Every structure is written in structure tokens, then in C-alpha cells.
Structure 1
Amino acid sequence: MPDDLVPDDLWERIAPLPPIRPPRRHRYPGRLPADDRAALRGIVYVLRKNVSRRDVPAERTGCGGVTAWRRLRDWTEAGVWPRLHEVLLAELRKAGPLDMDDAAIDGSHIRALKRGAHTGPSPVDRARPGSKHHLIVDRHGTPLAVTLTGGNRHDVTQLTPPLDAIPRIRGVHGRPRHRPGRLFADRGYDYDKYRRILRARGITPKIARRGVPHGSGLGKTRWVAERTFAWLHQFKRLRIRYEIRADLHLGLLQLTAGATAPAPREARRWLGR
């Protein structure tokens, strides 16, 4: 069975993370559960092809779409995807490419077709139901944290939650790193109250001012956040929210961000883009 949906290097990192299933009964074991790697193939297939779980081909993935959906639910509730992201960020920091001295933050609207939690009237889509992705990246565009809110939430109100979501990144001797040195943001975050909050955390704010001509030069650093959004939103499953449950959509987003973390260029190979 082809394993192109889940390469060996990705599976080696994910395999230790899912929770251990309870032991089966000995006398009447019933049908054996689907292999975890096969279930992950089904999850990635839905992410890549944007199909219903009923349309997942068992002959290619090794399990049915309903099984893949249940495994996505269980692993999301168990916190598998944030732990995967933390493992990959630690590997990056150990290897050297992770640069947290400078970070950029941004938000992006998406349409939510089935409503659900963390949706609201989108101000950029004629008040249709929508959600919003909030992303913080390092200097090279590596995702450090992603969060999900309703489409009507202002960017500046979500300045601190992504910072709080950055894991304590190990990989080198000394104290784990969990906050950037400087944070770049656009005019949507231009409030002195939040500049003071950043300085209290030891972060130097680099936020564009409203009411001044363009050309501040901050775009040379914060453009990587927009580029990472472009990579993530190549997947229609992320660009348009089909899941009613907000945690499942966030789980798919975290999985993609984690797969992008080892190196943004490798994300195309890992997720077939």
C-alpha cells in the first residue's frame, strides 16, 4: 500500500504521540481496530483532497473515512497535534533554523459553511458566517502557534492568545524558549495598551502606526506571516471551514502547521502540494 500520504519521517514523529488504546477482550475480540498510520492516511487524504469522509478510498488509505474521522476526533481531544508541533519545533531549534528573535503575527478570515463554535458575521464577507485564523511565525515563516476565533473578532484582541499558545521549545541546553524578542504586526494591532502588554512580557513591539503613510519598512519582516497563510490556505479544507466542531478544524490546522514546521519547503513534499 502506498505510504506517500504519510512519509516515514512524519510517521516516526507522530507514532509515539497517540494515546494507548485499552486492551481488547480475549474471548470475543471482535474486529481488529484500524492501524494508526492508516487512519492518519485517511485524515491527510481528507485534508489534501477536501472530500467527505464517506469518499475516503479504503483501498488507498487502509481504513474507511468514518474511522479516520473518529481517530481525528480522539487524537484532537488527546492533544496530539500540539505535541507534534512542539516536537518538531524542538528539532528545528536544535538544528539551528528556528529564529525566534523576530516574530510576526497576523489574522486571516475564512468562510464557515456550517456555522458552529467560533464563528461570527465576517466583516469582509458581507456578514456571512466565518471564522478567523490567527498565526504567529518566526523570522523565516515557521509557524509557532495557531488559534481559531469567530470571524468578527478584532485582530488586536487576539494578540496575546497566540503568544500564550507558543510551546516551551527545547532542543538546546538552557531554559526553553517560549517568546520572541521582537514582534512585528500591521496597523490592526496599533494600540498602545497592547504595546505595554508586550513590553511587560519582555517583547519589543514593532507595530505599524495608523494614519501615517506606508513605507515604514516593517513589511520586510512581517510578510512571512502572509506567505505562511498562503501555504496553509492552499488546502481548501483550511481555506473554507466545513467542520461544525471548532476543535476538529483547529486540529487539521495544527496538523498542517506542524507538518510545515520542519521546513516550509518540505511542507509541499509532506502534504503533497
Structure 2
Amino acid sequence: MHADFLPSPAVWSAVEPLLPDAPSGPGRRGRPRACDRQMFFARYYVLGTGMQWKALPRCLGAAATVHDRFQEWTLAGVFKQRWTSGLVQLQAEGRLDWDGQCLDACQTKAPLGGEAVGPHPTDRGKGGVKRHVLAEAQGLPIGVAVTGANAHEVTQVHAVPDAIPVLPPPAEGDFAPGCCADKGYAAEAIRRLLAQWGYRVHLLGRGEEADKCRPPGYRARRWVVERTRARFHRFRRLLIRWEKKVANYEAFLHLACANTVWRHSLLFLG
């Protein structure tokens, strides 16, 4: 089994306090409950390899048991809490850079359909999903949202900041954080909305950004969110959405966000 697809023991130490209590009662029967740590490692393995549940190596547990535990923890919000706790710690340490935020979206296939799936505009109308990501200036994901592939970015701008699990620090003086996005967001209504939220807005195409804003040594600002999306693609389960329930797909996405944030915070090397 490849070690890159399993988290380090420190990952488990960060997750274990977030797990809900195991159901108990005098009338409970059947086999003893499978080990939580083994179930979590199996779930992480599925995220990294992209394999189907039924293809899971037996040494990591029965596929049905692992999937049931995954559903239980998704309902309890374990994976989003893990992402949130990493952001909270970085915020407390003053290590989140709220200036120069970047917003972007990417599409992927969803062949099984389900919730929040729409016709893919560049794949002959087949089922697809779109991931909207807001990253702070270092490329750490601070907001994510999932919609159908046919949802235009302009109509979904409000959903991403609404999904930010931590609040930015209060503005001091005339400071206003910048928000950068590509021409897909270049609508007057979006400019007004971002301005109402207190952002300095940069909505330029790649060529326009190069021509108008580039002093010597300048690099385009959107590279940070593009790097964030590239990090997500290391988790093969995110490349194609096989989950019919949008909550399950979001749980995988939240775990990928948590992995990125916690790696940056050096709390663990997973």
C-alpha cells in the first residue's frame, strides 16, 4: 500500500477529538464496532487514490462499513470542522493573509448525476459539477461551494464568501482587502456586490492584467488560486465526482481543504 495515500499519525491526533461518540445502548447487538482510526485512514485512502468503495483493500476494512462510517461523520460535519479548526488556528496566530484573495471555479464530470449536477457546457451536455474556490493570498482555501456545471460564476459569487468558516479581522482605517478574479466574473453587479462586502476589486483577463498592472518582476495574482486547485487535483477522488449526494462530495472537498491548511500550519505532515 502506497504511503502517500495514508495520513501520518499526527493527522489522526487532530481528527480524533472531532469524532462523534459511538452509538451505544443495552439493546445494541452484532459485531464489535470497527476501529475509528482504521475507518478514517480508509476514507483518506479513497480520497487519495480515487478508487471506488468496493475496490477498497480489505486490510483497511469492509467497504460497506467504511462507507457507513463516512456517512456518519459527514452528517456530523467532522471534515468541515477539521478544515475550520486549521483556519481558526492560523487566524489566531495572524498567519492568514486576507489581502489579495482570489476567486475561481473549475468543472469536472459527474457521470452518476445526483444533487447539484448540471449539463456540462463543454462536454456535450453530460452531467457535470463546478467547484468554486476562494483562496487567501498564500493560496489557502478559505471558502468553497459546489454547483452544477451549468451554473455561471457570476450567479454563484455570493455562495463562496457565505461558505467561509471563519470571519476576517475587522478592517483598520482605510484598508480594504483585494479580491482578484478572471473575466468570467466581470459583471457590473458583481463589482458592486464585492465592493459592498468591502473588497477592492480586480477583475481582469490574463492579457489585460499583464498589460495594465505589471511592473518589472510582477506575476499575475490569480496564480495562487490556480495552485490551490492544482493541489486539489492530487486527490484523485475529486477529479471525477462519483457521489450522488452533494454532501458526500463536499465532505471529500472539505478534507482536501483541511489537508492543505494543516500542512501549511505545520501541525502535521499528512
Structure-1 residue corresponding to 2:234 = 234
Structure-1 residue corresponding to 2:249 = 249
- State which drifts further: 44-53 or 211-220: 211-220
Structure-1 residue corresponding to 2:23 = 22
Aligned 8 A contact 1:102 1:138 in 2: yes
Q: How many residue pairs get matched? A: 261
Tell me how far apart the structure 1 counterparts of residues 33 and 212 of structure 2 sit (CA, whole Å).
57
Specify whether residues 268 and 84 from structure 1 end up closer, same or farther in structure 2 by C-alpha distance, changes over 3 A only.
Answer: closer
Deviation at 1:2, TM superposition (A): 10
Tell me how far apart the structure 1 counterparts of residues 170 and 13 of structure 2 sit (CA, whole Å).
26
Tell me how far apart the structure 2 counterparts of residues 169 and 57 of structure 1 sit (CA, whole Å).
40
Tell me how far apart the structure 1 counterparts of residues 73 and 243 of structure 2 sit (CA, whole Å).
16
Correspondence 1:220 to 2:220: yes
Tell me how far apart the structure 2 counterparts of residues 48 and 84 of structure 1 sit (CA, whole Å).
17
Deviation at 1:40, TM superposition (A): 0.7
Aligned 8 A contact 1:120 1:130 in 2: yes
SS at match of 1:15: helix
Aligned 8 A contact 1:232 1:256 in 2: yes
SS at match of 1:226: helix
Aligned 8 A contact 1:81 1:254 in 2: yes
Higher-RCO chain (CA-CA 8 Å, sequence separation at least 6): 2
1:134-213 matches, within 5 Å, as 134-169=132-167, 181-208=177-204
Specify whether residues 211 and 3 from structure 1 end up closer, same or farther in structure 2 by C-alpha distance, changes over 3 A only.
Answer: closer
- State which drifts further: 80-89 or 161-170: 161-170
Aligned 8 A contact 2:181 2:204 in 1: yes
1:50-97 CA-to-partner distances (Å, cap 9, x unmatched) read 2221221232x2x22211111111111111122111100122223443
Structure-2 residue corresponding to 1:79 = 77
Q: Could you list the runs of 5+ residues in structure 1 that have no partner in the other structure? A: none
Query: Identity rate of aligned residues, in percent?
Result: 31
Tell me how far apart the structure 2 counterparts of residues 216 and 44 of structure 1 sit (CA, whole Å).
44
Aligned 8 A contact 1:92 1:262 in 2: no
Deviation at 1:29, TM superposition (A): 4.2
Tell me how far apart the structure 1 counterparts of residues 182 and 9 of structure 2 sit (CA, whole Å).
39
Whichever residue aligns with residue 183 of structure 1, its letter is C
TM-score of the pair, normalised by structure 1: 0.85
SS at match of 2:18: coil
1:153-203 CA-to-partner distances (Å, cap 9, x unmatched) read 001111111101111259xxx879xxx822111101111112111122222
Equivalent in 84, 104, 107 of residue 106 of structure 1? 104
Aligned 8 A contact 2:206 2:220 in 1: no
Deviation at 1:133, TM superposition (A): 0.5
Deviation at 1:212, TM superposition (A): 5.8
Whichever residue aligns with residue 141 of structure 1, its letter is G
1:248-273 CA-to-partner distances (Å, cap 9, x unmatched) read 11110111111111245979952xxx
Tell me how far apart the structure 2 counterparts of residues 52 and 152 of structure 1 sit (CA, whole Å).
26
Specify whether residues 191 and 97 from structure 1 end up closer, same or farther in structure 2 by C-alpha distance, changes over 3 A only.
Answer: same
SS at match of 1:97: coil
SS at match of 1:108: strand
Whichever residue aligns with residue 197 of structure 2, its letter is R
Tell me how far apart the structure 1 counterparts of residues 265 and 120 of structure 2 sit (CA, whole Å).
32
Aligned 8 A contact 2:179 2:202 in 1: yes
1:89-137 CA-to-partner distances (Å, cap 9, x unmatched) read 1222234432112210100000111111111111122222100000010
Tell me how far apart the structure 1 counterparts of residues 201 and 130 of structure 2 sit (CA, whole Å).
23
Q: Could you list the runs of 5+ residues in structure 2 that have no partner in the other structure? A: none
Tell me how far apart the structure 2 counterparts of residues 118 and 39 of structure 1 sit (CA, whole Å).
27
TM-score of the pair, normalised by structure 2: 0.86
Tell me how far apart the structure 2 counterparts of residues 2 and 112 of structure 1 sit (CA, whole Å).
27
Tell me how far apart the structure 2 counterparts of residues 18 and 42 of structure 1 sit (CA, whole Å).
15
Output the aligned Cα RMSD.
Answer: 3.0
Tell me how far apart the structure 2 counterparts of residues 2 and 238 of structure 1 sit (CA, whole Å).
19
